[in-house]
Amino acid sequence: MNVPLNPLEFRHRAVSLFGQKVGVVDGAKRFTYKEYDQRVNRLANALLKLGIGKGNVVSFITYNCHQLLESYYAVPQIGAILNPINIRLSQTEIEYILNHAETRVLCFHADFLLIIEAMRGNLKEIDHFIVMESKDVLDWAHSFELLLEDASPEADINLDAVDENAVIELFYTSGTTGQQKGVAITNRSLYIHTLTAIPGFQVSDEDTLLHVVPLFHVNGWGTPHFLTAVGGKHVMLRKIEFGEMLRLIEAEKVTKLLGVPTIFNGLLQHPDLKKYDLSSLKECIIGGAPSSYALIEALEKKIGCRAYVGYGLTETSPFIVIARPKQHLKKDTKTRRSYQVKTGLPLVGVRIRVVENDGIDVPRDEITMGEIVVRGNQVMHEYLKDQKATDTVIVDGWLHTGDMAVVDSEGYITIVDRKKDVIISGGENISSVEVEKVIQNHPAVFEVVVIGIPNEKWGEEVKALVVLNPGKNVSEEDLIAYVRDQIANYKAPKSVEFRDEFPKGGTGKILKRNLREPYWENYTKKVN
Protein backbone atom coordinates (compact mmCIF):
# COMPACT_ATOMS: atom_id res chain seq x y z
CA MET A 1 0.00 0.00 0.00
CA ASN A 2 1.30 3.44 -0.93
CA VAL A 3 -0.60 6.27 0.77
CA PRO A 4 0.37 9.89 -0.01
CA LEU A 5 1.97 11.70 2.92
CA ASN A 6 -0.34 14.56 3.86
CA PRO A 7 0.13 16.83 6.93
CA LEU A 8 -3.62 17.57 6.91
CA GLU A 9 -3.93 14.17 8.59
CA PHE A 10 -2.58 15.69 11.79
CA ARG A 11 -5.49 18.11 12.20
CA HIS A 12 -7.95 15.40 11.17
CA ARG A 13 -6.54 13.15 13.91
CA ALA A 14 -6.71 15.89 16.54
CA VAL A 15 -10.34 16.68 15.73
CA SER A 16 -11.32 13.02 15.66
CA LEU A 17 -9.65 12.05 18.94
CA PHE A 18 -9.49 15.34 20.89
CA GLY A 19 -12.34 17.38 19.42
CA GLN A 20 -13.77 18.59 22.76
CA LYS A 21 -10.40 19.43 24.25
CA VAL A 22 -9.16 23.04 24.31
CA GLY A 23 -6.43 22.95 21.71
CA VAL A 24 -5.64 26.64 21.17
CA VAL A 25 -5.34 29.50 23.67
CA ASP A 26 -4.74 33.06 22.47
CA GLY A 27 -5.22 35.67 25.17
CA ALA A 28 -8.84 35.47 26.32
CA LYS A 29 -9.80 33.29 23.34
CA ARG A 30 -9.97 29.52 23.76
CA PHE A 31 -10.82 27.07 20.99
CA THR A 32 -11.47 23.36 21.20
CA TYR A 33 -9.97 21.31 18.41
CA LYS A 34 -13.45 21.06 16.88
CA GLU A 35 -13.82 24.86 16.93
CA TYR A 36 -10.30 25.24 15.56
CA ASP A 37 -11.19 22.84 12.75
CA GLN A 38 -14.29 24.85 11.85
CA ARG A 39 -12.27 28.06 11.68
CA VAL A 40 -9.69 26.34 9.47
CA ASN A 41 -12.47 25.24 7.10
CA ARG A 42 -13.98 28.73 7.05
CA LEU A 43 -10.61 30.26 6.15
CA ALA A 44 -10.00 27.68 3.42
CA ASN A 45 -13.47 28.25 1.95
CA ALA A 46 -13.05 32.04 2.17
CA LEU A 47 -9.80 31.83 0.20
CA LEU A 48 -11.50 29.66 -2.42
CA LYS A 49 -14.22 32.33 -2.79
CA LEU A 50 -11.46 34.84 -3.48
CA GLY A 51 -10.24 32.69 -6.33
CA ILE A 52 -7.20 31.26 -4.53
CA GLY A 53 -6.20 27.70 -5.22
CA LYS A 54 -3.45 25.30 -6.15
CA GLY A 55 0.04 26.79 -6.19
CA ASN A 56 -1.02 30.32 -5.17
CA VAL A 57 0.97 31.94 -2.36
CA VAL A 58 -0.80 33.29 0.72
CA SER A 59 1.48 35.44 2.89
CA PHE A 60 1.03 36.50 6.51
CA ILE A 61 2.55 39.40 8.42
CA THR A 62 1.49 38.98 12.02
CA TYR A 63 2.43 37.89 15.52
CA ASN A 64 1.98 34.40 16.92
CA CYS A 65 -1.81 34.29 16.94
CA HIS A 66 -4.61 31.80 16.42
CA GLN A 67 -5.28 33.16 12.91
CA LEU A 68 -1.76 32.27 11.77
CA LEU A 69 -2.00 28.86 13.42
CA GLU A 70 -5.26 28.29 11.51
CA SER A 71 -3.54 29.14 8.25
CA TYR A 72 -1.11 26.25 8.66
CA TYR A 73 -3.94 23.89 7.75
CA ALA A 74 -6.34 26.14 5.83
CA VAL A 75 -3.88 27.21 3.13
CA PRO A 76 -2.58 23.74 2.18
CA GLN A 77 -6.14 22.40 2.40
CA ILE A 78 -6.86 24.19 -0.90
CA GLY A 79 -3.48 23.33 -2.42
CA ALA A 80 -2.07 26.83 -1.88
CA ILE A 81 1.31 27.72 -0.37
CA LEU A 82 1.66 29.35 3.05
CA ASN A 83 4.32 32.06 3.44
CA PRO A 84 4.62 33.57 6.94
CA ILE A 85 6.98 36.58 6.91
CA ASN A 86 9.34 37.75 9.62
CA ILE A 87 7.74 40.86 11.11
CA ARG A 88 11.14 42.29 12.06
CA LEU A 89 12.32 42.64 8.48
CA SER A 90 12.61 46.02 6.82
CA GLN A 91 10.01 47.30 4.36
CA THR A 92 12.44 46.72 1.49
CA GLU A 93 13.03 43.11 2.53
CA ILE A 94 9.31 42.40 2.91
CA GLU A 95 8.56 43.94 -0.48
CA TYR A 96 11.20 41.73 -2.07
CA ILE A 97 9.73 38.58 -0.50
CA LEU A 98 6.15 39.37 -1.51
CA ASN A 99 7.17 40.07 -5.10
CA HIS A 100 9.62 37.18 -5.38
CA ALA A 101 7.04 34.74 -3.99
CA GLU A 102 4.37 36.20 -6.31
CA THR A 103 2.02 36.48 -3.36
CA ARG A 104 -1.67 36.57 -4.32
CA VAL A 105 -3.15 37.21 -0.87
CA LEU A 106 -1.55 39.14 1.98
CA CYS A 107 -3.05 38.74 5.45
CA PHE A 108 -1.72 41.18 8.03
CA HIS A 109 -2.37 42.27 11.58
CA ALA A 110 -3.75 45.80 11.97
CA ASP A 111 -0.61 46.80 13.89
CA PHE A 112 1.30 46.62 10.59
CA LEU A 113 -1.14 48.80 8.66
CA LEU A 114 1.30 51.67 8.07
CA ILE A 115 4.01 49.52 6.54
CA ILE A 116 1.46 47.73 4.33
CA GLU A 117 0.07 51.05 3.11
CA ALA A 118 3.60 52.24 2.32
CA MET A 119 4.28 49.09 0.27
CA ARG A 120 1.00 48.67 -1.58
CA GLY A 121 2.04 50.53 -4.70
CA ASN A 122 5.16 48.37 -5.08
CA LEU A 123 3.47 44.97 -4.80
CA LYS A 124 3.03 43.45 -8.22
CA GLU A 125 0.94 40.30 -7.85
CA ILE A 126 -1.34 40.76 -4.83
CA ASP A 127 -5.04 40.49 -5.62
CA HIS A 128 -6.39 40.67 -2.07
CA PHE A 129 -5.39 42.19 1.24
CA ILE A 130 -6.94 40.80 4.44
CA VAL A 131 -6.60 42.66 7.74
CA MET A 132 -6.84 41.00 11.15
CA GLU A 133 -8.19 42.59 14.33
CA SER A 134 -8.73 46.01 12.80
CA LYS A 135 -11.08 48.48 14.48
CA ASP A 136 -11.39 50.44 11.26
CA VAL A 137 -13.05 49.46 7.99
CA LEU A 138 -10.58 49.63 5.09
CA ASP A 139 -11.89 50.13 1.58
CA TRP A 140 -8.93 48.22 0.09
CA ALA A 141 -8.72 45.27 2.53
CA HIS A 142 -11.12 42.51 3.58
CA SER A 143 -11.82 41.88 7.25
CA PHE A 144 -10.45 38.47 8.30
CA GLU A 145 -13.35 37.74 10.64
CA LEU A 146 -16.05 38.92 8.22
CA LEU A 147 -14.62 36.64 5.53
CA LEU A 148 -14.79 33.72 7.94
CA GLU A 149 -18.33 34.57 9.01
CA ASP A 150 -19.48 34.37 5.39
CA ALA A 151 -17.75 31.04 4.74
CA SER A 152 -18.85 27.50 5.55
CA PRO A 153 -17.35 25.70 8.56
CA GLU A 154 -17.58 22.40 6.68
CA ALA A 155 -15.24 20.88 4.13
CA ASP A 156 -15.15 17.60 2.26
CA ILE A 157 -11.48 16.62 2.41
CA ASN A 158 -9.98 13.62 0.63
CA LEU A 159 -6.72 13.03 2.49
CA ASP A 160 -5.48 10.73 -0.26
CA ALA A 161 -6.04 13.22 -3.08
CA VAL A 162 -2.77 15.06 -2.61
CA ASP A 163 0.58 15.29 -4.33
CA GLU A 164 2.97 14.57 -1.48
CA ASN A 165 5.76 16.30 -3.40
CA ALA A 166 3.82 19.55 -3.83
CA VAL A 167 5.25 22.61 -2.05
CA ILE A 168 2.90 23.87 0.69
CA GLU A 169 5.14 26.10 2.83
CA LEU A 170 7.62 28.81 1.89
CA PHE A 171 10.04 30.45 4.31
CA TYR A 172 12.66 33.03 3.48
CA THR A 173 16.05 32.66 5.12
CA SER A 174 17.69 35.62 6.81
CA GLY A 175 20.45 35.46 4.21
CA THR A 176 24.11 36.20 4.85
CA THR A 177 24.77 37.64 1.39
CA GLY A 178 22.50 39.11 -1.25
CA GLN A 179 18.74 38.75 -1.21
CA GLN A 180 16.87 36.35 0.99
CA LYS A 181 16.24 32.85 -0.34
CA GLY A 182 12.85 31.18 -0.33
CA VAL A 183 13.00 27.68 1.17
CA ALA A 184 10.30 25.53 -0.41
CA ILE A 185 8.98 22.70 1.78
CA THR A 186 6.72 19.89 0.58
CA ASN A 187 3.89 17.83 2.07
CA ARG A 188 6.30 14.92 2.29
CA SER A 189 9.02 16.87 4.13
CA LEU A 190 6.58 18.24 6.72
CA TYR A 191 4.95 14.86 7.27
CA ILE A 192 8.25 13.04 7.80
CA HIS A 193 9.55 15.85 10.01
CA THR A 194 6.51 15.47 12.25
CA LEU A 195 7.00 11.72 12.60
CA THR A 196 10.62 12.24 13.62
CA ALA A 197 9.92 15.24 15.88
CA ILE A 198 7.26 13.51 18.02
CA PRO A 199 9.68 10.97 19.55
CA GLY A 200 12.54 13.46 19.40
CA PHE A 201 10.66 16.04 21.47
CA GLN A 202 8.75 13.31 23.33
CA VAL A 203 5.38 15.06 23.03
CA SER A 204 1.91 13.69 23.75
CA ASP A 205 -1.62 14.91 24.46
CA GLU A 206 -0.43 15.66 28.01
CA ASP A 207 1.74 18.49 26.73
CA THR A 208 1.04 22.22 26.61
CA LEU A 209 3.48 24.28 24.57
CA LEU A 210 3.93 28.03 24.82
CA HIS A 211 4.64 29.37 21.33
CA VAL A 212 7.73 31.43 22.06
CA VAL A 213 9.32 30.68 18.69
CA PRO A 214 7.56 32.81 16.05
CA LEU A 215 5.43 30.81 13.65
CA PHE A 216 7.03 32.77 10.82
CA HIS A 217 10.32 31.12 11.74
CA VAL A 218 10.24 27.85 9.76
CA ASN A 219 6.79 26.74 11.02
CA GLY A 220 7.59 27.57 14.63
CA TRP A 221 10.14 24.75 14.61
CA GLY A 222 7.47 22.28 13.50
CA THR A 223 5.01 22.93 16.34
CA PRO A 224 1.80 23.43 14.30
CA HIS A 225 2.24 19.90 13.00
CA PHE A 226 3.76 17.74 15.73
CA LEU A 227 1.80 19.22 18.65
CA THR A 228 -1.50 19.09 16.76
CA ALA A 229 -0.82 15.50 15.68
CA VAL A 230 -0.68 14.29 19.30
CA GLY A 231 -3.52 16.52 20.56
CA GLY A 232 -1.39 18.81 22.69
CA LYS A 233 -2.42 22.34 23.66
CA HIS A 234 -1.11 25.42 21.83
CA VAL A 235 -0.68 28.61 23.89
CA MET A 236 0.07 31.64 21.73
CA LEU A 237 2.57 34.30 22.78
CA ARG A 238 2.28 37.38 20.59
CA LYS A 239 5.26 39.30 21.93
CA ILE A 240 8.30 38.35 24.00
CA GLU A 241 7.44 39.67 27.44
CA PHE A 242 9.10 37.65 30.17
CA GLY A 243 6.56 38.52 32.82
CA GLU A 244 3.73 37.36 30.52
CA MET A 245 5.66 34.19 29.75
CA LEU A 246 5.92 33.38 33.45
CA ARG A 247 2.22 34.10 33.96
CA LEU A 248 1.21 31.84 31.08
CA ILE A 249 3.45 29.00 32.22
CA GLU A 250 1.70 29.03 35.59
CA ALA A 251 -1.85 29.72 34.35
CA GLU A 252 -1.87 27.25 31.44
CA LYS A 253 0.42 24.68 33.08
CA VAL A 254 2.88 24.78 30.22
CA THR A 255 5.02 21.64 29.99
CA LYS A 256 7.44 22.50 27.16
CA LEU A 257 9.27 25.60 25.96
CA LEU A 258 11.30 25.97 22.79
CA GLY A 259 13.52 28.99 22.31
CA VAL A 260 16.93 30.51 21.69
CA PRO A 261 19.43 31.01 24.57
CA THR A 262 18.59 34.72 24.81
CA ILE A 263 14.96 33.91 25.67
CA PHE A 264 15.88 31.53 28.45
CA ASN A 265 18.52 33.89 29.85
CA GLY A 266 15.93 36.66 29.95
CA LEU A 267 13.43 34.41 31.71
CA LEU A 268 15.95 33.41 34.35
CA GLN A 269 16.92 37.04 35.00
CA HIS A 270 13.34 38.25 35.49
CA PRO A 271 12.91 39.70 39.00
CA ASP A 272 9.56 37.91 39.49
CA LEU A 273 10.84 34.45 38.54
CA LYS A 274 10.39 33.03 42.04
CA LYS A 275 6.86 34.43 42.40
CA TYR A 276 5.39 31.97 39.89
CA ASP A 277 4.64 28.27 40.15
CA LEU A 278 6.59 26.81 37.22
CA SER A 279 6.41 23.20 38.39
CA SER A 280 4.43 22.13 35.30
CA LEU A 281 7.40 22.89 33.05
CA LYS A 282 9.16 19.63 32.22
CA GLU A 283 11.47 20.45 29.32
CA CYS A 284 13.18 23.42 27.72
CA ILE A 285 14.61 22.86 24.24
CA ILE A 286 17.34 25.35 23.34
CA GLY A 287 17.89 25.92 19.63
CA GLY A 288 18.92 28.61 17.19
CA ALA A 289 22.35 29.11 18.77
CA PRO A 290 24.75 27.06 20.94
CA SER A 291 24.03 26.97 24.67
CA SER A 292 26.43 27.20 27.59
CA TYR A 293 26.66 24.63 30.37
CA ALA A 294 25.77 27.45 32.77
CA LEU A 295 22.41 27.99 31.06
CA ILE A 296 21.52 24.28 31.18
CA GLU A 297 22.47 24.19 34.86
CA ALA A 298 20.54 27.37 35.72
CA LEU A 299 17.34 26.18 34.04
CA GLU A 300 17.44 22.89 35.89
CA LYS A 301 18.28 24.43 39.26
CA LYS A 302 16.05 27.52 39.18
CA ILE A 303 13.03 26.06 37.40
CA GLY A 304 13.37 22.34 38.03
CA CYS A 305 12.95 21.21 34.41
CA ARG A 306 15.32 19.35 32.09
CA ALA A 307 17.04 21.42 29.44
CA TYR A 308 18.42 20.11 26.15
CA VAL A 309 20.03 21.60 23.08
CA GLY A 310 18.42 20.98 19.69
CA TYR A 311 19.53 21.83 16.17
CA GLY A 312 18.04 22.36 12.76
CA LEU A 313 17.83 24.69 9.79
CA THR A 314 15.13 26.31 7.72
CA GLU A 315 16.29 23.99 4.94
CA THR A 316 15.57 20.89 7.07
CA SER A 317 11.98 21.69 8.12
CA PRO A 318 13.72 22.35 10.72
CA PHE A 319 14.75 20.05 13.63
CA ILE A 320 17.15 17.20 12.96
CA VAL A 321 19.20 16.80 16.17
CA ILE A 322 18.55 16.78 19.91
CA ALA A 323 20.94 16.33 22.83
CA ARG A 324 19.20 13.67 24.90
CA PRO A 325 21.84 11.69 26.82
CA LYS A 326 21.99 7.95 26.27
CA GLN A 327 20.98 5.96 29.35
CA HIS A 328 24.53 5.08 30.43
CA LEU A 329 25.54 8.76 30.21
CA LYS A 330 23.13 9.74 33.00
CA LYS A 331 25.34 8.25 35.73
CA ASP A 332 25.77 11.60 37.46
CA THR A 333 24.38 15.11 37.04
CA LYS A 334 27.55 16.69 35.68
CA THR A 335 28.02 14.02 33.01
CA ARG A 336 24.34 14.16 32.03
CA ARG A 337 24.40 17.95 31.63
CA SER A 338 27.67 17.84 29.69
CA TYR A 339 25.84 15.82 27.01
CA GLN A 340 22.69 17.93 27.12
CA VAL A 341 24.78 20.97 26.14
CA LYS A 342 26.23 19.26 23.07
CA THR A 343 24.39 19.67 19.77
CA GLY A 344 23.28 16.06 20.07
CA LEU A 345 22.33 12.93 18.14
CA PRO A 346 20.31 12.88 14.89
CA LEU A 347 16.60 12.18 15.11
CA VAL A 348 15.38 8.88 13.72
CA GLY A 349 15.21 9.11 9.94
CA VAL A 350 17.91 11.77 9.63
CA ARG A 351 21.32 10.97 8.18
CA ILE A 352 24.11 13.26 9.37
CA ARG A 353 27.82 13.28 8.65
CA VAL A 354 30.59 15.66 9.66
CA VAL A 355 33.09 15.89 6.83
CA GLU A 356 36.37 17.61 6.03
CA ASN A 357 36.97 19.51 2.80
CA ASP A 358 37.79 16.29 0.96
CA GLY A 359 34.41 14.80 1.89
CA ILE A 360 35.90 12.29 4.33
CA ASP A 361 34.19 11.87 7.71
CA VAL A 362 36.09 13.37 10.62
CA PRO A 363 37.36 10.96 13.29
CA ARG A 364 35.31 10.69 16.48
CA ASP A 365 38.00 12.44 18.51
CA GLU A 366 35.98 15.57 19.51
CA ILE A 367 38.88 17.62 18.11
CA THR A 368 38.83 17.48 14.33
CA MET A 369 36.41 19.99 12.82
CA GLY A 370 34.29 19.35 9.76
CA GLU A 371 31.12 20.60 8.12
CA ILE A 372 27.74 19.06 9.00
CA VAL A 373 26.03 17.58 5.95
CA VAL A 374 22.49 16.18 6.05
CA ARG A 375 20.44 13.77 3.98
CA GLY A 376 16.80 12.92 4.59
CA ASN A 377 13.18 13.48 3.66
CA GLN A 378 13.09 16.58 5.86
CA VAL A 379 15.47 18.46 3.58
CA MET A 380 13.91 21.24 1.49
CA HIS A 381 12.75 20.79 -2.08
CA GLU A 382 14.67 23.82 -3.35
CA TYR A 383 15.38 27.50 -3.03
CA LEU A 384 12.50 29.08 -4.94
CA LYS A 385 13.57 30.28 -8.41
CA ASP A 386 17.24 29.81 -7.56
CA GLN A 387 18.62 26.58 -8.96
CA LYS A 388 22.20 27.82 -8.71
CA ALA A 389 21.91 28.41 -4.95
CA THR A 390 20.12 25.06 -4.55
CA ASP A 391 22.91 23.23 -6.38
CA THR A 392 25.50 25.02 -4.24
CA VAL A 393 24.14 23.66 -0.95
CA ILE A 394 22.79 20.27 -2.08
CA VAL A 395 25.75 18.36 -3.51
CA ASP A 396 25.63 14.65 -4.38
CA GLY A 397 22.41 14.27 -2.39
CA TRP A 398 23.71 15.92 0.80
CA LEU A 399 22.72 19.34 2.17
CA HIS A 400 25.82 21.31 3.21
CA THR A 401 24.84 23.31 6.28
CA GLY A 402 27.85 25.61 6.68
CA ASP A 403 27.97 24.60 10.36
CA MET A 404 31.31 23.32 11.64
CA ALA A 405 31.29 20.57 14.26
CA VAL A 406 33.25 17.87 16.03
CA VAL A 407 32.08 14.33 16.87
CA ASP A 408 32.75 12.43 20.10
CA SER A 409 33.18 8.70 20.68
CA GLU A 410 29.46 8.29 21.43
CA GLY A 411 28.45 9.85 18.10
CA TYR A 412 27.30 13.20 19.58
CA ILE A 413 28.02 16.17 17.38
CA THR A 414 28.90 19.56 18.83
CA ILE A 415 28.77 22.66 16.66
CA VAL A 416 31.88 24.73 17.14
CA ASP A 417 31.14 27.48 14.65
CA ARG A 418 29.61 28.61 11.41
CA LYS A 419 32.03 28.07 8.55
CA LYS A 420 32.06 31.81 7.95
CA ASP A 421 32.57 32.61 11.65
CA VAL A 422 35.71 30.58 12.31
CA ILE A 423 38.37 33.12 13.30
CA ILE A 424 41.79 32.56 11.71
CA SER A 425 44.51 34.30 13.71
CA GLY A 426 48.16 33.71 12.87
CA GLY A 427 47.16 30.61 10.91
CA GLU A 428 45.28 29.08 13.86
CA ASN A 429 41.57 28.25 13.55
CA ILE A 430 39.67 29.62 16.56
CA SER A 431 36.05 28.68 17.25
CA SER A 432 34.12 31.79 18.24
CA VAL A 433 31.48 29.52 19.81
CA GLU A 434 34.05 27.84 22.05
CA VAL A 435 35.17 31.23 23.39
CA GLU A 436 31.56 32.39 23.77
CA LYS A 437 30.71 29.35 25.88
CA VAL A 438 33.59 30.07 28.27
CA ILE A 439 32.65 33.74 28.66
CA GLN A 440 28.94 32.92 29.06
CA ASN A 441 29.80 30.86 32.15
CA HIS A 442 31.09 33.97 33.96
CA PRO A 443 28.49 34.97 36.61
CA ALA A 444 28.53 38.63 35.52
CA VAL A 445 27.77 37.90 31.86
CA PHE A 446 24.24 37.97 30.44
CA GLU A 447 25.03 37.70 26.71
CA VAL A 448 28.22 37.49 24.66
CA VAL A 449 29.22 37.54 21.02
CA VAL A 450 32.75 36.70 19.92
CA ILE A 451 33.91 37.92 16.51
CA GLY A 452 37.07 38.20 14.49
CA ILE A 453 38.22 41.74 13.69
CA PRO A 454 41.07 42.86 11.41
CA ASN A 455 44.64 42.66 12.69
CA GLU A 456 47.50 43.70 10.41
CA LYS A 457 49.99 41.26 11.94
CA TRP A 458 47.84 38.18 12.62
CA GLY A 459 45.13 38.64 9.98
CA GLU A 460 42.33 38.53 12.56
CA GLU A 461 42.11 38.88 16.30
CA VAL A 462 39.47 37.76 18.76
CA LYS A 463 37.11 40.40 20.17
CA ALA A 464 34.32 39.84 22.70
CA LEU A 465 31.17 41.97 22.86
CA VAL A 466 29.45 41.55 26.21
CA VAL A 467 26.15 42.51 27.87
CA LEU A 468 26.36 42.23 31.65
CA ASN A 469 23.73 40.94 34.04
CA PRO A 470 21.84 43.71 35.89
CA GLY A 471 23.79 44.84 38.93
CA LYS A 472 26.90 42.85 37.97
CA ASN A 473 30.28 44.12 36.90
CA VAL A 474 33.59 42.78 35.62
CA SER A 475 36.55 44.54 34.03
CA GLU A 476 37.93 43.85 30.59
CA GLU A 477 41.20 42.64 32.07
CA ASP A 478 39.54 40.26 34.54
CA LEU A 479 37.28 38.77 31.87
CA ILE A 480 40.23 38.12 29.53
CA ALA A 481 42.15 36.52 32.42
CA TYR A 482 39.09 34.36 33.19
CA VAL A 483 39.11 33.01 29.63
CA ARG A 484 42.87 32.41 29.63
CA ASP A 485 42.53 30.29 32.75
CA GLN A 486 40.29 27.86 30.86
CA ILE A 487 41.44 27.70 27.23
CA ALA A 488 44.59 28.34 25.23
CA ASN A 489 45.84 31.92 25.43
CA TYR A 490 45.74 32.43 21.67
CA LYS A 491 41.96 31.79 21.72
CA ALA A 492 41.27 34.41 24.39
CA PRO A 493 39.90 37.79 23.30
CA LYS A 494 42.43 40.56 22.82
CA SER A 495 39.75 43.08 23.73
CA VAL A 496 36.30 43.23 25.33
CA GLU A 497 33.65 45.82 24.56
CA PHE A 498 30.64 46.19 26.84
CA ARG A 499 27.24 46.89 25.27
CA ASP A 500 23.81 47.70 26.69
CA GLU A 501 22.06 45.27 24.33
CA PHE A 502 22.47 43.32 21.09
CA PRO A 503 20.38 43.48 17.91
CA LYS A 504 18.04 40.49 17.70
CA GLY A 505 16.20 38.67 14.94
CA GLY A 506 12.58 37.50 14.97
CA THR A 507 13.25 34.53 17.26
CA GLY A 508 15.36 36.54 19.69
CA LYS A 509 18.57 35.22 18.16
CA ILE A 510 21.48 37.66 18.29
CA LEU A 511 22.35 39.10 14.87
CA LYS A 512 26.06 38.32 14.95
CA ARG A 513 26.67 39.42 11.37
CA ASN A 514 25.31 42.90 12.15
CA LEU A 515 27.74 43.21 15.06
CA ARG A 516 30.72 42.05 13.00
CA GLU A 517 30.18 44.13 9.87
CA PRO A 518 31.17 47.61 11.21
CA TYR A 519 34.70 46.37 11.96
CA TRP A 520 35.14 45.26 8.33
CA GLU A 521 33.39 48.08 6.47
CA ASN A 522 36.65 49.51 5.07
CA TYR A 523 37.86 46.13 3.83
CA THR A 524 37.03 44.62 0.44
CA LYS A 525 37.09 41.10 1.94
CA LYS A 526 35.42 40.10 5.18
CA VAL A 527 38.46 38.04 6.19
CA ASN A 528 41.99 39.33 6.55
In a domain, 433, yes or no: yes
pLDDT of residue 285: 97
pLDDT of residue 178: 58
Examine the domain organization and report whether 244 and 188 are in the same domain: no
In a domain, 174, yes or no: yes
Instruction: Specify the CATH number for the domain of residue 480.
Output: 3.30.300.30
Range of the domain at 516: 424-520
Examine the domain organization and report whether 33 and 173 are in the same domain: yes
Examine the domain organization and report whether 99 and 245 are in the same domain: no
Examine the domain organization and report whether 337 and 262 are in the same domain: yes
pTM of the model: 0.87
Mean pLDDT for each consecutive 10-residue tract of the chain (528 residues)?
Answer: 97 98 98 98 98 98 98 98 92 93 98 96 95 95 98 95 97 70 97 97 98 94 98 97 98 97 92 97 92 94 97 95 98 97 96 95 96 97 95 96 95 87 76 89 94 84 94 94 89 94 86 88 58
Last residue of a domain, one of 339, 359, 379: 359
Instruction: Specify the CATH number for the domain of residue 125.
Output: 3.40.50.12780
Examine the domain organization and report whether 184 and 244 are in the same domain: no
In a domain, 172, yes or no: yes
pLDDT of residue 290: 81
Examine the domain organization and report whether 174 and 264 are in the same domain: no
pLDDT of residue 186: 98
Last residue of a domain, one of 334, 359, 384: 359
Examine the domain organization and report whether 247 and 354 are in the same domain: yes
In a domain, 230, yes or no: no
According to DSSP, the residues that pair with 394 across neighbouring strands are 399
Examine the domain organization and report whether 133 and 265 are in the same domain: no
Examine the domain organization and report whether 437 and 328 are in the same domain: no
pLDDT of residue 417: 78
Question: Mean pLDDT for the chain?
Answer: 94
The per-residue DSSP string of 172-229 comes to E---SSSS--EEEEEHHHHHHHHHHHHHHHT--TT-EEEE-S-TTTHHHHHHHHHHHH
pLDDT of residue 427: 65
The per-residue DSSP string of 272-340 comes to TGGGS--TT--EEEE-SS---HHHHHHHHHHT--EEEEEEE-GGGSSEEEE-PPPGGG-SSHHHHHHHH
Question: In total, how many domains does the chain have?
Answer: 3
Examine the domain organization and report whether 153 and 33 are in the same domain: yes
Examine the domain organization and report whether 24 and 95 are in the same domain: yes
What is the spatial distance between Cα 425 and Cα 439, in angstroms, rounded to a whole number? 19
pLDDT of residue 507: 79
Examine the domain organization and report whether 186 and 271 are in the same domain: no
